[in-house]
């Protein structure tokens, strides 16, 4: 019998990869990929053909997200599938809740 902790990551990945990428799936995967602190200071949205637009409040966060872009992209692809997310575009603007 497998422990619940070992089953959850694979189950979450399988569920996220079913069907087309939606805004809700992206937001959930984003929270898992970047953690709560970065999630609170960013917004994401589906943009174009398998693109993700990351909205940050200021230049400091834009620099930090761009610096971590490869790692974040790898985590999103692991969760959503390699074809679901082809790239990230980081822009400064209003984040949700502002």
- Within a domain: 17: yes
Count of structural domains within the chain: 1
What confidence tens digit (pLDDT) does each residue in 43-85 have?
999 988 778 999 998 999 999 999 999 999 999 999 999 889 9
8-12, 28-32, 53-57, 88-92: the lowest-pLDDT one: 8-12
Q: Whole domain around residue 86: which residue ranges?
A: 4-92
- 18-26 contact pairs (CB < 8 A, 24+): 21/46, 21/50, 21/80, 21/84, 21/85, 22/46, 25/80, 26/52, 26/80
Write out pLDDT tens, residues 16-41: 888 888 999 999 999 999 999 999 99
Instruction: Give 22: exposed, middle or buried? Use CB within 10 Å, 0-12, 13-18, 19+.
Output: exposed
> Is residue 98 in some structural domain?
no
96 φψ region: left (φ > 0), alpha (ψ -120 to 50), beta (else): beta
pTM score of the predicted model = 0.84
Q: Is residue 83 part of a domain?
A: yes
Residue 82 lies in a domain: yes
Residue 29 · residue 16 · CB < 8 Å: yes
Query: For residue 60, what is the domain's CATH number?
Result: 3.30.300
Quote the tokens at residue 8: 């959850």
Tell me the C-alpha distance between 93 and 13, whole Å: 30
């Amino acid at each position: 019998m497998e422990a619940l902790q070992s089953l959850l990551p694979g189950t979450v990945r399988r569920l996220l990869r079913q069907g087309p990428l939606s805004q809700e799936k992206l937001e959930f995967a984003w929270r898992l990929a970047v953690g709560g602190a970065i999630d609170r200071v960013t917004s994401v949205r589906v943009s174009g053909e398998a693109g993700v637009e990351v909205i940050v409040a200021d230049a400091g966060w834009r620099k930090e997200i761009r610096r971590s872009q490869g790692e974040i992209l790898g985590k999103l692809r692991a969760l959503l599938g390699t074809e679901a997310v082809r790239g990230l575009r980081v822009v400064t603007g209003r984040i949700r809740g502002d």
